[in-house]
Amino acid sequence: MNSVIEDIERIYKPIPNGATFTFPEDFVAFNGHFPQQQLLPAVVQVELALFVLSKSLNKDVKLKNVKKAKFVSPIFPKDTVNLTYDNKDTFYDISIKKDEKVISTFQIIVE
């Protein structure tokens, strides 16, 4: 079985200041999270942001803090999302969109 990071790596498609992800039904993070209606856990959405930042900055980043998080719509198997980031000097603004609609926003501080 793949780890979450291995699965993120296999579906990662870089775009300027972010990435596109299409989640297959067998994406490991769906296992056991609401078996009747699988959805991507919020913690995995944060992990997506850390992965994208690590790739973009060409260094490992570690989460220090999450602030102002809003997860307003779910991400289901087969969904495609765009994650983008904006460097705000002391933190990163993260936005996740599905069909051009913002479904998650949060700010993270990394080290």
Mean pLDDT over 9-14 rounds to 98
**pLDDT higher than threshold 60 for residue 88:** yes
pLDDT of residue 1: 56
pLDDT in tens, 50-70: 999 999 999 999 999 999 999
**The pTM is what?**
0.94
Pick the CATH number of 4-110 from 2.40.50.100, 3.10.129.10, 2.40.160.10, 3.90.550.10: 3.10.129.10
**Can you list the pairs that 6-13 forms with residues at least 24 positions away whose Cβ atoms lie under 8 Å?**
8/47, 8/48, 8/51, 9/51, 12/51, 12/52, 12/55
